[in-house]
Amino acid sequence: MPLPASKPARRSRRGALVLLVYVVVLVAAFASARAWLEELAAFMLISLLLWPALRRRSVVAGSMWLIAAIAIAALALAGRGALALDFMPVMVNAALSALFAQTLARGSEPLIARVIAVLESPERLTLPRVAAYARALTLAWSVLLGAQAIVLALLILCAVPDGLLASFGIEPPVAITGNGWRWYLHLGSYTTVLAFLVVEYAFRRWYLRHIEHVSLPVFVTRLVRRWPALSRSVMHDIPTPHISAHPDA
């Protein structure tokens, strides 16, 4: 008789299913340009981003979710549902910035340190410079993503004629014209993150040149295999488990 699936495994499957539904809704929203799909996609995204904190009954997360839901409803009633879709990169950057920042709190383990412990080994953090670099990189990601969330929000607010303020007849303090802002919103912002990844990887290979680094294919393989352990560590704020550092593990 087969053993029942563990709770983490069932949660992972449910999470994957919800994420798949969200992706389908998002693609349908972009393909059809239907306002109600755009609003639904935005609501699903903020719910997914805040779900770990909502499960812990966080008052802050509950307040943020309620404010976001009211804002999306207000945009829908005003016939500005497309703006809800524009705010999605803002929500993603802000949520990720907060995620990195919260792991820097006293008594917590920096997110990059958790990644190192899960993908390589906890012992790697005891090597010279590694733990300090992990904390500094966690802070750098938090600052970068937080700053980008602010920039993207200002672009949406001040864009003319499709921005938030202009859509409601309010003159923005600085008018941003043309369509370049929307290209940066939905493409350039992700390019910025990719560029930071490349620059950081090159710097890390030089700064931590005294230790061996795994190849990119091995890193990606480990990330896929050990993603459940890493996500549990982040979502439930539990210590990272000890995992063998064997190259093929």
Q: What average pLDDT does the segment 82-89 reach? A: 85
- DSSP state letter for 245: -
Residue 103 CB neighbours (<10 A): 20
Residue 7 CB neighbours (<10 A): 8
Residue-range domain boundaries for the chain: 1-81, 87-249
Contact (Cβ atoms closer than 8 angstroms) between residue 97 and residue 146: yes
Nearest CA to 237 out of 125, 132, 122, 105 is that of: 105
Band (137; pLDDT cuts 50, 70, 90):
very high
For the chain, give the longest Cα–Cα distance: 68
Tokens for 97, please give them.
Answer: 């910035």
Query: What single letter denotes the amino acid at residue 85?
Result: L
Task: State the Cα–Cα distance between residues 224 and 140, nearest whole angstrom.
Answer: 24
Residue 234 CB neighbours (<10 A): 18
Phi then psi dihedrals of residue 184, to 5 deg: -65, -35
Q: What average pLDDT does the segment 110-116 reach? A: 91
% of the chain exceeding 90 in pLDDT: 25
Express each pLDDT in 158-176 by its tens digit: 999 888 898 888 999 999 9
pLDDT of residue 203: 93
Task: State the Cα–Cα distance between residues 193 and 96, nearest whole angstrom.
Answer: 12
Please, which residues bridge with residue 20 across strands? none
Q: What average pLDDT does the segment 100-126 reach? A: 89
Express each pLDDT in 180-236 by its tens digit: 888 888 888 889 999 998 899 889 989 999 888 877 788 778 877 887 777 777 665
Band (110; pLDDT cuts 50, 70, 90):
very high
Q: Which residue would you say has higher pLDDT here, 233 or 20?
A: 20
pTM: 0.78
Band (249; pLDDT cuts 50, 70, 90):
very low
